[in-house]
């Protein structure tokens, strides 16, 4: 069964360092997302991406964050200068249709980011 894969599964970094989290969405999906979950809190939307551009982003997704689809398969989330509060589990997701057309999301297993 096709699945969304994420790497790394866990990354530890020093505050102020750049981090890139990688995702390979399901191959025929057109919409891509990043969500995050701070320990003990709810899953929060960061950004959605369609047709090689950001379609929506939340207040969390500030100038320190960027997303890219560098080739036909990878979808990356970059945090330029990590802060302690960026420590969280980051989930990549993809869908065939956007939520406006009621397509459900398929999530990866997550990348745990720990900022020291």
Partner 1 sequence: DQQVKQNSPSLSVQEGRISILNCDYTNSMFDYFLWYKKYPAEGPTFLISISSIKDKNEDGRFTVFLNKSAKHLSLHIVPSQPGDSAVYFCAASVGGANNLFFGTGTRLTVIP
CA angle 17, 21, 105 (to 5 degrees): 145
- CB of 116: closest distance to partner 1 in angstroms? 22
- Quick one: 24 or 43, whose CB is closer to partner 1? 43
How crowded is residue 8: how many other Cβ atoms within 10 Å of its Cβ?
13
Interface positions, 86-115, toward partner 1 (CB under 8 A): 91, 93, 98-100, 102, 104-110
C-beta of residue 23 within 8 angstroms of C-beta of residue 115 = no
Give residue for tokens 């929506």: 56
Q: Is residue 75 a contact point for partner 1 (CB under 8 A)? A: no
Laid out side by side, the sheet with 5-7 consists of: 5-7, 19-24, 75-79, 65-68
For partner 1, which residue of 25, 29, 31, 113 counts as binding (CB under 8 A)? Answer: 31
Question: Which residues sit at the interface with partner 1, rule CB under 8 A?
Answer: 4, 31, 33, 35, 41-45, 48, 50, 55-56, 58, 91, 93, 98-100, 102, 104-110
């Amino acid at each position: 069964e096709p699945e969304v894969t994420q790497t790394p599964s866990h990354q530890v970094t020093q505050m102020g360092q750049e981090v890139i989290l990688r995702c390979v969405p399901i191959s025929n999906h057109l919409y891509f997302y990043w969500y995050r979950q701070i320990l003990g809190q709810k899953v929060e939307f960061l950004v959605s991406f369609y047709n090689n551009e950001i379609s929506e982003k939340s207040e969390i997704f500030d100038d320190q964050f960027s997303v890219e689809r560098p080739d036909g398969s990878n979808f990356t989330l970059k945090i330029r200068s990590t802060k302690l509060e960026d420590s969280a589990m980051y989930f990549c997701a993809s869908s065939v249709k956007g939520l406006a057309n009621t397509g459900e999301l398929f999530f990866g297993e997550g990348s745990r980011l720990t900022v020291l």
